[in-house]
Amino acid sequence: MTALAEVEAKAAPHRLAVFGGFHPGAGDGVPPGTGTVFLLGPDEPGFWPHVTSEPEWRDGRPDPIDRWSARVIGDLARRLGGPALFPFGGPPYHPFYRWALRTGRAWTSPVTLLVHDRAGLFASFRGAILLPERIDLPPPPPAAPCATCAGQPCRSACPAGALTAQGYDVPACHGFLDTEAGADCLSSGCVVRRACPVSQAYGRLPGQSAYHMRLFHT
C-alpha cells in the first residue's frame, strides 16, 4: 500500500513537492477506478536550477519544461502504479484549477488566481499522479491565508488594473506588457503574484517567472 510519504520521497529528488491530494468522486473528471489524485508542483527553492540542468532544457527543442514534466512525472507515476495527467497538451484541458480546490490546500484568491498554502499566488502544477488506492491524506489547513492577510495587497497590485476581484482582463494585461512599464512583469513575474506574502516566502526565482511570462506573452 502506497503512503503519502512514499510519493513525497520519490518526487523529492526531482525537486517536486506534493501540492495536495484528494479522493475523487463523480464529477471530478478523473478516470473511474482512481482512489487518490496527487498534484505535484515545484519544490522551491531549488526547482529552477534543477530543471534547467536537465536534458530537455539543454536540447534546444520547444517546450522543455512540459517535456521534462511528462518524462519525470510519467515515470514516477508508473513506478507508483498509476497514470499521470498534465495541465498542458490541450485543449481540452484537464481541470487542474478545480482539482487544486479539491485538495483543500488551494483557494480562489480575491483576484481569482489560485492561492496555495505553500506557493501563494505562485501556485502552479507540473502534473497529477492518479493511484488506484485510497491513500490517507492529512487534514487541509482550516482556512485560506487570505483570511488573515493584512491589507490583501493582491487586490491593488496590478499596475494595469487587469487582475482584480472582477477577474482577469487578459487583453488589458497583454496591452500593458507591450509597453515599457510592462518590462518588470516580463522579467520578474506578475506583480500581483509577487505581492502575496505567501508567494514571497516560497523562494521562486525571477528567472522561472520570466520564462513563463515569455511563453504567455508572445
| C-alpha span between 132 and 81 (Å, rounded) | 8
Listed as own residue / partner, the contacts of 202-209 with beta carbons closer than 8 Å and 24 or more positions apart are 202/44, 202/118, 202/119, 202/120, 202/122, 203/44, 203/45, 203/46, 204/42, 204/44, 204/45, 204/47, 204/48, 204/119, 204/122, 205/44, 205/45, 205/48, 205/49, 207/48, 208/42, 208/47, 208/48, 209/122
> Does 119 participate in binding ligand SF4 (rule CB under 6 A)?
no
121 binds ligand SF4 (CB under 6 A): yes
State the nearest-atom distance from the C-beta of 137 to ligand SF4, in Å: 23
* Binding segment toward ligand SF4, per CB under 6 A, in 42-50, 71-79, 87-95, 144-152: 144-152
Direct distance between the N- and C-terminal alpha carbons of the chain, in angstroms, rounded to an integer:
45
Question: E-assigned strands of the chain?
Answer: 16-22, 36-42, 84-85, 106-108, 114-116, 127-131, 163-164, 167-168
Residues numbered 39 to 68 that lie near ligand SF4 (CB under 6 A) are none
Which one among 30, 51, 76, 158 touches ligand SF4, defined by CB under 6 A? 158
Q: Which of the choices ligand B12, ligand SF4, none does residue 110 contact, using the CB cut-off of 5 to 8 A by kind?
A: ligand SF4
Task: Give 98 or 134: the residue with its C-beta nearer to ligand B12.
Answer: 98
Can residue 128 be called a binding residue for ligand B12 (CB under 6 A)? Answer: no
The answer to whether residue 163 forms part of the interface with ligand SF4 (CB under 6 A) is yes
> Smaller CB distance to ligand SF4: residue 12 or 181?
181
Residues touching ligand SF4, count (CB under 6 A):
24
The site for ligand B12 (CB under 6 A) is made up of: 87, 93-98, 112-114, 121, 123-125, 163, 167-168, 170, 173, 190, 193, 212-213, 216
